[in-house]
């Protein structure tokens, strides 16, 4: 028998980061992400609406309005013209509030080529359509590969170089699976990775986005209960059952339950539910203490993503037949004038259920009437 020599496997070429990226949005998180790209050695231009913010980034390497006292890389360049930001960009990150995703994507569509990958960094569900943020962007763009960056990330800590991890998610085409090193997700992850920022890659865009949208609502619930005087047992229960609500919605929309146990789900939920640095947690804390909504944040018009998501998430869940009792409770308080104590007492006295889904059972809570009465008293 004749033996043929086995050809050696060629050395694998490392994935190539993008040479230039554009970050659309010069708020706190946009500035932090742009700084991370720049620290990774990527030529980075950040676009902002406020020309004073752009000038300060260029002249002083600071963004005092949105990221006070955090030094920015000298090579980070800010522009006020979107065309200038997108000129020559090999990839784009849109980092504006969820309500602005559609208008910004529509504006950038005029200047960006269809093959350029676009990562959306807003978290939420569009109220009018029930679309996830990447789906909103897709409607306005011209066939660009659209993904997202999501995870447990406070902007200031990220920009200051605290060890941070996040997930980069894009759909994987057949070509991407054959050659993942050239996929948008892998190249975006390589472009973000520094000594302190660690990026993970996912192909489950739906699962990643659902985690980011739902966690804000659960954080408001945690804040409400903590503000009312309850402690760690209560928060742990809400976080855990909140994860189950995330899993159920993700699965119903075609995502994977396991994705929710990662950085964009459990990771982001844990962070957001554990610190008043989160606007969502902070809003819940204030409401739990009995502060009226219009008096929260000292009466300032602070945008809280979870407040809007409480309605859009539950609208979508109802449409696809998913039960989300914690999110429904938050919606009732925020949007339907429900009394906070009675609402959460009713949540806790719902029928007893099995935790593993395979054990399909439900029966009345034996102390439901007492639970409603006693728990409601704790909020008064």
For 152-199, how does the pLDDT look when each residue is reduced to its tens digit (9 = 90+)? Answer: 999 999 999 999 999 999 999 999 999 999 999 999 999 999 999 999
Alpha helices in 7-100 (DSSP H): 28-39, 51-60, 82-86
Which active-site residues does the annotation give? 215
CA distance 296 to 302: 9
Residue 289: CB atoms within 10 Å: 14
Whether residue 270 sits in one domain with residue 180? no
Q: Answer yes or no: are the C-beta atoms of 345 and 332 closer than 8 Å.
A: no
Whether residue 302 sits in one domain with residue 175? no
pLDDT of residue 380 exceeding 70, the answer is no
Whether residue 227 sits in one domain with residue 108? no
For 246-294, how does the pLDDT look when each residue is reduced to its tens digit (9 = 90+)? Answer: 999 999 999 999 999 999 999 999 999 999 999 999 999 999 999 999 9
For 33-88, how does the pLDDT look when each residue is reduced to its tens digit (9 = 90+)? Answer: 999 999 999 999 999 999 999 999 999 999 999 999 999 999 999 999 999 999 99
> Could you tell me the CATH number of the domain that includes residue 260?
1.10.1040.10
Q: Answer yes or no: are the C-beta atoms of 304 and 190 closer than 8 Å.
A: no
For 248-259, how does the pLDDT look when each residue is reduced to its tens digit (9 = 90+)? Answer: 999 999 999 999
Q: How many domains does the chain have?
A: 2
Residue 107: CB atoms within 10 Å: 16
Structure tokens at 209: 């986005």
pLDDT of residue 104 exceeding 90, the answer is yes
- Residue 148, SS3? strand
Report if residue 75 sits inside a domain.
yes
pLDDT at 120: 98
pLDDT of residue 302 exceeding 60, the answer is yes
Whether residue 213 sits in one domain with residue 197? no
Q: Where among 203, 238, 258 does a domain terminate?
A: 203
Q: Give the residue numbers spanning the domain of 359.
A: 207-379
CA distance 342 to 333: 10
pLDDT at 359: 87
């Amino acid at each position: 028998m004749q033996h043929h020599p086995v050809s050696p496997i060629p050395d694998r070429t490392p994935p190539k980061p993008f040479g230039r990226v554009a970050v659309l949005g010069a708020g706190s998180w946009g500035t932090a992400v742009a700084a991370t790209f720049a620290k990774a050695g990527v030529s980075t231009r950040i676009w902002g609406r406020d020309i004073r913010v752009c000038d300060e980034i260029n002249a002083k390497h600071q963004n005092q309005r949105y990221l006070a006292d955090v030094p920015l890389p000298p090579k980070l360049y800010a522009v006020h013209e979107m065309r200038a930001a997108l000129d020559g960009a090999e990839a784009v990150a849109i980092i504006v509030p969820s309500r602005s995703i559609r208008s910004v994507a529509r504006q950038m569509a005029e200047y960006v080529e269809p093959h350029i990958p676009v990562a959306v960094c807003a978290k939420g569900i569009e109220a009018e359509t029930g679309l996830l943020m990447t789906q909103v962007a897709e409607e306005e763009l011209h066939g660009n590969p659209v993904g997202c960056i999501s995870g447990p990330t406070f902007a200031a800590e990220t920009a200051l170089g605290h060890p941070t991890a996040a997930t980069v998610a894009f759909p994987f085409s057949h070509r991407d699976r054959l050659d993942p090193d050239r996929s948008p997700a892998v190249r975006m992850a390589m472009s973000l990775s520094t000594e302190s920022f660690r990026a993970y890659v996912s192909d489950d865009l739906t699962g990643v986005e659902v985690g980011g949208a739902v966690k804000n609502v659960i954080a408001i619930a945690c804040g409400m209960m903590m503000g009312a005087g309850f402690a760690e047992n209560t928060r742990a229960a809400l976080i855990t059952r909140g994860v189950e609500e995330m899993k159920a919605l993700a699965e119903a929309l075609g995502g994977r339950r396991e994705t929710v146990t990662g950085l964009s789900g459990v990771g982001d939920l844990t962070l957001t539910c554990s610190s008043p640095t989160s606007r969502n947690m902070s809003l819940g804390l204030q409401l739990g203490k009995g502060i009226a909504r219009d008096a929260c944040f000292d009466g300032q018009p602070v945008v809280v993503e979870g407040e809007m998501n409480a309605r859009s998430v539950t609208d979508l869940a109802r449409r696809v037949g998913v039960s989300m009792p914690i999110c429904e409770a938050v919606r009732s308080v925020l949007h339907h004038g429900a009394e906070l104590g009675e609402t959460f007492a009713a949540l806790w006295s719902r029928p007893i259920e099995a935790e593993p889904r395979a054990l399909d059972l439900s029966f009345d809570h034996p102390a439901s009437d007492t639970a409603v009465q006693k728990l409601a008293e704790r909020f008064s």
